[in-house]
Amino acid sequence: MEVNDTLVQQLADLSRLEFSPEEKKEFTGDLQRMITFVEKLNELDTSHVKPLLHLTEDYNVFREDQVKPSISREEALQNAPAANEEYFKVPKIIKK
CB 35 within 8 A of CB 55: no
Rounded-to-integer distance, Cα 34 and Cα 15, Å: 18
Angle, vertex CA 3, rays to CA 2 and CA 5, nearest 5: 135
Quick one: DSSP state of residue 31?
A: H
pLDDT tens sequence for the chain (96 residues): 788 889 999 999 999 999 999 999 999 999 999 999 999 988 989 889 888 877 777 777 788 888 998 888 888 888 888 888 888 888 888 877
CATH of domain 5-41: 1.10.20.60
CB 77 within 8 A of CB 88: yes
